Chain A
Amino acid sequence: MLKDMFKKTYTLIDTKYKGQTREPNVPEGLWRKCRKCGQPVYRDDVMDSLYTCPKCKAYFRVHAFRRIEITADKGSFEEWDSAMEFGNPLDFPGYEDKVREAREKTRLNEAIVTGKCLINGEKTALGVCDSRFLMSSMGHVVGEKITRMVERATEQRLPVIIFACSGGARMQEGCVSLMQMAKTSGALKRHHEAGLFFISVLTDPTTGGVTASFAMLGDVILAEPGALIGFAGPRVIQQTIGQKLPEGFQRSEFLLDHGFVDKIVPREEMRDTLGKLLHMHQVSGARRLDGVCGEKSGIEADMAAGNGETQKADGGKTAVKNEAAGNGSEQKAENEFASGKTAWEHVQLSRRTDRPTALDYIEELFDDFIELHGDRYYGDDGAVVGGIAMFHGQAVTVIGQQKGKTTKENISRNFGMPSPEGYRKALRLMKQAELFGRPVICFVDTPGAFCGIEAEERGQGEAIARNLFELSDLKVPVLSIVIGEGGSGGALAMAVANEVWMMENAIYSVLSPEGFASILWKDSKRAKEAAEVMKITAGDLLKLRVIDKVIPEREPACGDNLKEIAWYMEEKICGFLEEYGNLESEDLQKQRYERFCGI
């Protein structure tokens, strides 16, 4: 209604404006265009946000040296093999020109830059692919540079980090390119056998022969959010099967769900995550826990008071302990634990939704927990959580069965009932702990292994059996703590340990009391009665020597007393690590074997 109603008042001032000599204009290169949102964005903003779009947060691809700049400690990078000679093995027409052009454009000698550097002060070998160079495809120079870097790292006992990004094998080099997959994988196998650590970081895009070789071989595989990662390219798949591909197919998140990526790390957290992982692999195995505990004294007596828990005065001769079990008066005293509650009350307490879960204890007990995902075969099971964390300056592998506290959480955690992929993830992390000499601490809390068609299809029985088999002679100390329900084989698959502890109100059983009553008496309503006869409480199992220690709960565990309980647990874990941390692997294996043979 007011449109075009106002009179214009401007007078063209005869300008002698001095402040400005140039016409307003946008200098060349000031804007970059975001490939995802299509918006022009300010170059410096892109740089400051680590090469992400300041508007839609999409990731820009990063040049190799920029990546090194944002990853390595300033000035610490020392390049290796910067001038490797190029050849044209197939005499492919025009290939030399293509490479020359790429070299001129990128000022790189090939599609990967390798060398060594420090990340948060930790030494490592580092390789970074650059997509500007023929889509960072792997020809003989790339393969050779990676192989030499890995060999050198093996020699110098350095970890390796490779930022992968590639279109795959370099077509112009034919089968010579294909062989690079075997060569790089072989070098990594030797690095692995030497007990050295490899982190693969997948960035957009990682496909073809690179995915099918070094990129997927990391002890830890990290990915940037939203990166395209796959073997066959999406276009090829779509054309082959003639179907439209689902949203998010072959993106980092898809791979995480399917168990092939340990963790998706946003760019701003990458450097710290790498630094922490390197640090954890520096201290594991190298350092034993010596006298770091013992500062907390009062709490123990305090906690033990009034619930009959008796301290073990065992000085560290654990290997002998099982043989002597049941004879000495010391052990006898330990066998007496009475909580004053009925077995059924314990069952109910162990199932309470406000009971702290594995992640609650992990958060309280450990520092810098880095959760790692996936079984590397099929999926990532929400019912099992695991990863690496620091405990009193020592790296440990922590694994837990995780229940949810709300219905929504419980659906993603499958009510704490692990699937085969959960057990396989646990096993993968345990084997990794073994390789790097880290103790394993498990938190057991499951009604039982998941009972369903899919679980059977993927071999639930096999997965549990495999864990019992492998755990029985794991070369590092293993401690399992039953914090809630210890349901049958589903619990045992994470409790073949040097010591098994139970919380006062936890239960550990061959079957749920309901299941027991229904099988034996054909009446699941008699669960209460079943609970009593099954001997499933901490006190009962201590007597049966199924468990070694009871963690007292003055009040049933919940959020309010979590700190107190964790504090007590922490001291006990210190004791465990002091005792077992110094044993040779043969002694650990023997003790564990005999522990179960003795029952």
Chain B
Amino acid sequence: MFTKILVANRGEIAVRIIRACREMGIKTVAVYSEADRDSLHTLLADEAICIGPAPSDKSYLNMERIISATVAMKAEAIHPGFGFLSENARFAELCEKCSITFIGPPAGLINKMGNKSEARKTMIEAGVPVVPGSREPVYKAEEAKAMAEEIGYPVMIKASSGGGGKGMRISYGPDDFETNFLNAQMESVKGFSDDTMYLERYIEKPRHIEFQIMADKQGHVVHLGERDCSIQRRHQKVLEESPSIAISQELRKKMGETAVRAARAVGYENAGTIEFLLDKDKNFYFMEMNTRIQVEHPVTEMVTGMDLIKEQIRIAAGEPLSVTQDEVRIQGHAIECRINAENPAKHFMPCPGLITNVHTPGGNGIRVDSHIYCDYRVPPNYDSMLLKLIVYGKDRESAIAKMRSALGELVIEGIETNLDFQYEILNHEAFVKGDIDTHFIPTYFPQYGK
């Protein structure tokens, strides 16, 4: 096992990693920017080293500084957390060259999965379903129509240069295809002087379902069930839960096995997440693979009883997985709410500043992952996430009740947060019923969807 790990991140996840190391008896080195001198990760780690000024590109993204700090502090491994350098193949490669263990998959894998078209190709080869679509550009309505037949309706018609909904149409059948295609193309020609179009199966009201994967250096791969992350605002996850109400035991097995197959196909190592779109008929399609620990990993920890960060560290140190697939038991229900320093009334504008008072809920089945404390000043330079509130109940109903109670008890004063917005979601009828998809926020909270 490692004796010292450098945590190349900040905020809540850095604290989370440091805590795991503390429990494992491993020494920790925090890196911090000049804006993070008083941040909890800096204070909690055994050692801390400043790596530059506040802007991320000069500190938390500065590979050379972080590597030099690791060598200087004699840490054997780097945990990159999420964001920043966590999915930077170059950084993983640098670690390797400097005899530092990168706690995550090898550089080649990060690269492979980071390239969308290559990842798609790999998945098709491994027999993992992907969203059917044209990989070749199409220009003529007639050709496109034949292609649409092959892909299957409804079809999304997308302009290559399109954006913001422009040059985008959905066709529900052969009757409305031509009109929609020509309209979308016309829009693109007018707006972007480009008539290059692509087609893709349109997935109606999809859920965002992702599977947690763990793989060790010995070639064992397990999945730890799914997370339902359909509650999103502009592709940013807001609330996640596990398990998903839409997934039967049978489907879980099928999707889980597919995810494991995908991970095996690329020879995956360490923690990873395979994201799927699940349509209303329970067809699922591969979207992408994240080659790092996820923000929402605690919900999986709650329902499996595992510590994913510790597992990551053990795998990186060469130890085999602590469980086999048969030993993975998914019990109860967990929900996570992300509490951010942002103002929903002002288009979720980030609201950094001084936190004058904090009270966090506690008690049975309640977990708070955060780096904030009373009199902590949230710097304006980074992500606005302040706290993750996670609850665990025996079923979804009791988890929702617990989350409502916990949100009601959480107090953060001094800056604006999205706490009330989360509370509204928890009380929304459709959410309570489990009738959710990725359009949940734009549908039910149009004022916040913008």
Known: A17-B2, A31-B64. A24 touches B94 (CB 8 A): no
Cross-chain contact B99 with A42 (CB below 8 angstroms)? no
Query: Which residues of the other chain, A, contact B44 by a CB distance below 8 angstroms?
Result: 6
A-B contact pairs, 14 of them (CB 8 A): A2-B373, A6-B44, A8-B46, A10-B21, A13-B25, A17-B2, A17-B3, A19-B101, A22-B99, A25-B99, A27-B97, A39-B64, A40-B64, A55-B57
Closest Cβ of chain A to B371, distance in Å, is 11
The one of B98, B101, B317, B318 that contacts A26, using a Cβ cutoff of 8 Å:
B98
The one of A6, A17, A39, A41 that contacts B76, using a Cβ cutoff of 8 Å:
A17
Cross-chain contact A10 with B94 (CB below 8 angstroms)? no
Query: Which residues of the other chain, B, contact A269 by a CB distance below 8 angstroms?
Result: none
The one of A10, A24, A45, A55 that contacts B25, using a Cβ cutoff of 8 Å:
A10
User: Per-residue 0/1 for B31-65: is the Cβ within 8 Å of any A Cβ (1 yes, 0 no)?
Assistant: 00000001010011010000000000100000110
The one of A12, A18, A24, A39 that contacts B99, using a Cβ cutoff of 8 Å:
A24
Query: Which residues of the other chain, B, contact A23 by a CB distance below 8 angstroms?
Result: 74, 99
A interface, how many residues as a size bin? 20 to 34
- Does A1 count as interface, using CB distance less than 8 angstroms? yes
Cross-chain contact B71 with A25 (CB below 8 angstroms)? yes
Cross-chain contact A10 with B98 (CB below 8 angstroms)? no
User: Per-residue 0/1 for B291-326: is the Cβ within 8 Å of any A Cβ (1 yes, 0 no)?
Assistant: 000000000000000000000000011100000000
A40, closest chain B residue (CB): B64
Closest Cβ of chain B to A125, distance in Å, is 37
Known: A22-B99, A23-B99, A26-B98. A42 touches B43 (CB 8 A): no
Query: Which residues of the other chain, A, contact B57 by a CB distance below 8 angstroms?
Result: 55
Known: A10-B25, A10-B27, A17-B1. A42 touches B94 (CB 8 A): yes
Known: A2-B40, A17-B1, A17-B317. A40 touches B98 (CB 8 A): no
Q: Is the interface of A mostly helix, strand, loop or mixed?
A: loop
Tell me the residues in window 85-99 of chain B with beta carbons closer than 8 Å to chain A beta carbons: 90, 93-94, 97-99
Measured in the bound complex, the distance between the Cα atoms of B28 and A40 in whole Å is: 25
Cross-chain contact A1 with B64 (CB below 8 angstroms)? no
Measured in the bound complex, the distance between the Cα atoms of B90 and A245 in whole Å is: 41
Cross-chain contact B98 with A6 (CB below 8 angstroms)? no
Query: Which residues of the other chain, B, contact A27 by a CB distance below 8 angstroms?
Result: 97-98
User: Per-residue 0/1 for A6-38: is the Cβ within 8 Å of any B Cβ (1 yes, 0 no)?
Assistant: 101111110101111011111100110000000
Measured in the bound complex, the distance between the Cα atoms of B3 and A55 in whole Å is: 33
- Does B70 count as interface, using CB distance less than 8 angstroms? yes
- Does B100 count as interface, using CB distance less than 8 angstroms? yes
Cross-chain contact B3 with A15 (CB below 8 angstroms)? yes
- Does B22 count as interface, using CB distance less than 8 angstroms? yes
Query: Which residues of the other chain, A, contact B40 by a CB distance below 8 angstroms?
Result: 2
Most buried by B among A5, A8, A10, A24: A24
Instruction: Report B's interface with A, CB cutoff 8 A.
Output: 1-3, 21-23, 25-28, 38, 40, 43-44, 46, 57, 63-64, 67-68, 70-71, 74-76, 90, 93-94, 97-101, 316-318, 373, 375
Cross-chain contact A13 with B1 (CB below 8 angstroms)? yes
Cross-chain contact B26 with A13 (CB below 8 angstroms)? yes
- Does A3 count as interface, using CB distance less than 8 angstroms? yes
B19, closest chain A residue (CB): A9
Cross-chain contact A2 with B43 (CB below 8 angstroms)? yes
A1, closest chain B residue (CB): B375
Closest Cβ of chain A to B214, distance in Å, is 17
Closest Cβ of chain A to B25, distance in Å, is 4
Most buried by A among B40, B57, B94: B94
The one of A17, A25, A45 that contacts B98, using a Cβ cutoff of 8 Å:
A25
Instruction: Report A's interface with B, CB cutoff 8 A.
Output: 1-3, 5-6, 8-13, 15, 17-20, 22-27, 30-31, 39-42, 44-45, 55
Query: Which residues of the other chain, B, contact A41 by a CB distance below 8 angstroms?
Result: 64
Cross-chain contact A19 with B64 (CB below 8 angstroms)? no
Query: Which residues of the other chain, A, contact B373 by a CB distance below 8 angstroms?
Result: 1-2
Closest Cβ of chain A to B30, distance in Å, is 12
Query: Which residues of the other chain, A, contact B64 by a CB distance below 8 angstroms?
Result: 31, 39-42
Closest Cβ of chain B to A288, distance in Å, is 30
Known: A17-B2, A17-B3, A20-B76. A42 touches B27 (CB 8 A): no
Cross-chain contact B67 with A26 (CB below 8 angstroms)? yes
Query: Which residues of the other chain, B, contact A30 by a CB distance below 8 angstroms?
Result: 94, 97-98
Query: Which residues of the other chain, B, contact A15 by a CB distance below 8 angstroms?
Result: 1-3
Query: Which residues of the other chain, A, contact B26 by a CB distance below 8 angstroms?
Result: 10, 13
Query: Which residues of the other chain, B, contact A13 by a CB distance below 8 angstroms?
Result: 1, 3, 25-26
Query: Which residues of the other chain, B, contact A11 by a CB distance below 8 angstroms?
Result: 25
Task: Using A25-B98, A26-B71, A27-B97 as known contacts, list a sample of 8 further A-B pairs with CB atoms less than 8 Å apart, ordered by residue number in A.
Answer: A2-B373, A3-B43, A10-B26, A15-B2, A27-B98, A39-B64, A41-B64, A42-B94
Query: Which residues of the other chain, A, contact B23 by a CB distance below 8 angstroms?
Result: 9
Cross-chain contact B90 with A42 (CB below 8 angstroms)? yes
Measured in the bound complex, the distance between the Cα atoms of B67 and A40 in whole Å is: 11
A5, closest chain B residue (CB): B43
Measured in the bound complex, the distance between the Cα atoms of B27 and A259 in whole Å is: 62
B99, closest chain A residue (CB): A22
Cross-chain contact B318 with A19 (CB below 8 angstroms)? yes
The one of B43, B63, B67, B93 that contacts A6, using a Cβ cutoff of 8 Å:
B43
Query: Which residues of the other chain, A, contact B63 by a CB distance below 8 angstroms?
Result: 42
Measured in the bound complex, the distance between the Cα atoms of B21 and A272 in whole Å is: 52
Cross-chain contact A9 with B22 (CB below 8 angstroms)? yes
B94, closest chain A residue (CB): A42
